[in-house]
Amino acid sequence: MNLYRLWAVARKEFIHVVRDWRSLVLSVAIPILLIALFGYALTMDLTDVPTAVWDRSNTPQSRDLLSLYDGSPYFSLTRYVDNDRDLRGLLDRGEAMVALVIPSDFADRVTGGRAAFIQALVDGSETNNATLALGYVTAVGRIYAGRLTVERLHRQGVRRGPGGVELEPRAWYNPDLRSQNVIIPGIIALVMVVIAAMLTSVTVAREWETGTMEQLISTPIRVPELVLGKVVPYFVIGLTDVAIAVVVGRWVFDVPLRGSTGLLFASASIFLTGALFQGLLLSIVLKTQVLANQIALVLGYLPTLILSGFVFGIHNMPLPIQAITFLVPGRYFITMLRGIYLKGIGLEILWLDAALLTLYAAVMVVLAHRKMRLTLEG
């Protein structure tokens, strides 16, 4: 391989990227846009749930219970009603996600030491949010019940209750259970897939459409020099986008990076190489910019978004779909990203994912090289 000819092809691509300022701006703007969009909009956290209340008891005991809900970060008691029709109307119009109904005998049961019940109605049209909301309602109710038990024991002169088991949950790696800590690392994979689909998937097709491929073929340049030279500029742009994503994630969304920065960029380089050569392979095969770009997005972006575990848990998918996810390289890369970001682990645990990513990149490099050779010889 002649490094001078390799640099000549790479320099040509650099010049083209600089001259096509729209692609250059998009290559920088897309990472920031994706991080902002997914970081702010795609959140699994549930706070300030609009909650309607029908307090049929209207006693100090019921108000004490409602103060727990109103004082928590999960509920916002926005509307108080005094009949069932208005309560249903708020749920129907989406003005409330949760409705709490406190029966008229609530205070009598509490003061009499009997079991007291409240009704929680949840809008089930949004299943995930409804499940979270029900969990929060139950948790606050148990806190109130525990407080009543302690007060009753104190009134009886018992300073310590009977022995029991108390669960103290603790979340490792993401103690606050912030969804941004999980989402932001995965966006790095999406950024690289989009950059590869947008840039390298059209680079060879553009040469065929503009008629400059014949000029390249007539020169002494060899296939490895042509293929590698086409990828080098976009590799630099891709790593720059990774750096942008890391900086924005750290300083805007306060996502911790507990692992090795070197390992992060090394794994990103491997995944980026595979994604770039996959886009280049499509460009070689299809020879049409629009078609190559569209298929690159379908084959790269959609599987990474849906089948990599970025948004949807793989363990919840049907078994045939779970089997398909093993063919999605984004699955291994996102596993490495979350391990590096949140757990601070290294290759002693992530070696298999790193090996599979390396295999993916090697296969794409070999296929793109062979297809380019066959195309030029044909």
203 or 270, which is more confident?
A: 270
Q: Which CATH class is domain 49-155?
A: alpha beta
| SS3 (DSSP) at 40 | helix
What pLDDT sits at residue 168? Answer: 73
Determine the residue type at 302.
L
What pLDDT sits at residue 198? Answer: 73
What is the C-alpha end-to-end distance of the chain, expressed in Å? 22
**Residue 283: exposure state from Cβ atoms within 10 A (0-12, 13-18, ≥19):** buried
208 or 68, which is more confident?
A: 68
Q: For the segment 149-158, what is each residue's pLDDT rounded down to a tens digit?
A: 777 767 666 6
Backbone φ and ψ of 294, nearest 5°: -65, -45
Q: Are strands 49-55 and 75-80 parallel, antiparallel or unpaired?
A: parallel
129 or 335, which is more confident?
A: 335
128 or 249, which is more confident?
A: 249
Backbone φ and ψ of 169, nearest 5°: -70, 150
Percent of the chain with pLDDT over 90: 19
Angle formed by the axes of helices 223-251 and 179-195, nearest 10°: 160
What pLDDT sits at residue 165? Answer: 62
Dihedral angle sign, alpha carbons of residues 202, 204, 206, 208? negative
Confidence class for position 100, pLDDT limits 50, 70, 90: very high
Two tokens at 106?
Answer: 């609530």
Structural domain spans, the chain: 3-42+178-377, 49-155
Give the pLDDT mean for 253-258.
Answer: 88
What pLDDT sits at residue 1? Answer: 67
Confidence class for position 334, pLDDT limits 50, 70, 90: very high
Length of the chain: 378
Backbone φ and ψ of 48, nearest 5°: 50, 50
Distance (Å, rounded) from C-alpha 68 to C-alpha 89? 25
310 or 177, which is more confident?
A: 310
- The residue whose two tokens read 């022995």 is 163
Distance (Å, rounded) from C-alpha 39 to C-alpha 41? 6
What pLDDT sits at residue 350? Answer: 93
**Long-range pairs, 345-351, Cβ under 8 A, ≥24:** 345/259, 346/259, 346/260, 346/263, 347/263, 350/267
Q: For the segment 305-333, what is each residue's pLDDT rounded down to a tens digit?
A: 888 888 888 888 889 999 999 999 999 99
Give the pLDDT mean for 159-168.
Answer: 60
